Amino acid sequence: MRHAPTILHLDMDAFYASVEQASKPSLRGKAVVVGGLGPRGVVATASYEARAFGVHSAMPMGQARRLAPHAAYLVPRFTLYRSISEQVMALLRELSPLVEPLSLDEAFVDLEAGETAWDEESARLAGIKLRADIRAVTGLTGSVGLAASKMLAKIASERAKPDGLVLIEPGSERALLGPLSVRTLPGVGPATGDHLRRAGITTVEELAEAGEDELVRLVGKAHGHGLYAMALAHDERPVVAEREAKSVSVEDTYDVDIHDRLRIGLEVQRLADRCVGRLRGAGLSGRTIVLKVRRYDFSTLTRSETLRGPTDDPTVVREAAARLLDSVDTTGGVRLLGVGVSGLADYTQEDLFAQAEPLPATEEPEEPVAGAVAERPEPVERQWRAGQDVQHAEYGHGWVQGSGVGRVTVRFETPQSPPGRVRTFLVGDAALGSAEPLPLVGAPGQASSEPDPASLPKSWSGTEGGGATSRP
């Protein structure tokens, strides 16, 4: 294992919630919860202000509302999160060709491979510069861990949260790991943790003291050897550069089970279009179309169809998804639908091979009853979701605070403005429409959401800001 602390782990602080606070001046310093807002929704991210009430990611949204009833509850805006993530990842790739993203807001970087750092001091300077660059480009904060291995770098970034930098000095690894829970180590989930606890092993130090033979007996040969090595602070896993995506997919979970077969078909078509949009946005095509259906009883079915060549044609994907839906029994209702494309390529062959097959013939409708009047479909009421970007012809850019009983409440403000005023409109107001998110950091000359450097926390014990608690 290398001894210089040149593995960097970056973890953006409460990423989705921090983006929303930076985007919405009235929410800065307030409790913000991002996730699915329906009865089956779960928390994706909670701001640190919301975490003070006990709200955390993966918690059912209903429980979060009971714990923090006055928090702002917003739907995710993944298009904006992805664009900011791309800015952050670009900064990481300036440091090294070896960048291993784990999610939109988290990645490992091998600084030595990029000749950015080779010892403790150069690694610390690289981490300080990265945090400053992220703040300048995005207006957001990230926590950085530096160590001689991926495992230790991730532990360091957790100790740095929020908004800090921690470097684990060579030679101090065993002392740092010893008192930590075994759950800190990679690969130790709830089941393994419980199994070790029943054997009287709860800390990393106790794991090391148990010895390799005992760990092999407890958890098996492969896992036992690996656990013992990590307990001794040995982690040889390399930083692996970003792998190509294997598939592109989208899915939606519905608050109420969908029973109407026509609506299910329309939802599948809509998901197919969204999937193709992502596919084209990544400059890819694919040859296998996948349909995912989770039924009322939580059973999940997947169906796939492989074309003769890759495609990014929305008609081809829609019709393939429709054929797959025909083979699925949706009696009783569905609670989740998804459409994906795999077998990806960076070119298309639809002109030669991947032409859509004709849809199977549908049953003829029953003869209309004499004298019956054809029903006209009722107009669909516009849907406004909390957190959604909107534009008003008179008041400008804003975001939806809430809607109901035929009305929608909007707060008009931008990332560079002071907290804005609230106004209420009819949901069908022609002057109000959806809008694209605004950049978090304004053009030169505009006010910035970046905090005053004088207000940032000072260094402590080799730490650039932040504290020693583990808060993702």
Q: Which residues contact 171 (CB under 8 A, 6 or more apart)?
A: none
Q: Which one from 106, 112, 173, 319 is the annotated catalytic residue?
A: 106
The DSSP secondary structure of 1-57, one letter per residue, reads ---S--EEEEEETTHHHHHHHHH-GGGTTS-EEEE--STT-BEEEE-HHHHTTT--T
Q: Annotated catalytic, 106?
A: yes
Neighbouring CB atoms inside 10 A of 437's CB total 18
Q: Long-range contacts made by residues 196-203, C-beta under 8 angstroms, separation at least 24?
A: 203/178, 203/179
DSSP per-residue letters across 368-396: PPTTPPPPPPPPPPPP--TT-EEEETTTE
Contact by Cβ (8 Å): 113, 96 = yes
Q: Do the bridges between strand 7-12 and strand 396-404 make them parallel or antiparallel, or are there none, so unpaired?
A: unpaired
Q: Is 409 helix (H, G, I), strand (E, B) or coil?
A: strand
- Tell me: cis bond preceding 162? Omega within 30 of 0 counts: yes
Q: How far apart are CA 83 and CA 95, in angstroms?
A: 19
- Token pair recorded at residue 442: 């304004």
Structure tokens given for 181: 């829970």
358 three-class SS: coil
Give the DSSP H or E segment for 411. Answer: strand 407-412
Rounded to whole angstroms, the Cα distance separating 388 from 400 reads: 5
Residue 274 burial by CB count (10 A; 0-12/13-18/19+): exposed, middle or buried?
A: middle
Strands 72-74 and 32-35: parallel
Nearest to 260 by CA among 205, 333, 168, 202: 333
Q: Which of 38, 39, 36, 73 is nearest to 53 (CA)?
A: 73
Do residues 131 and 142 touch, judged by C-beta distance below 8 A? yes
Which residues are part of the catalytic machinery? 106
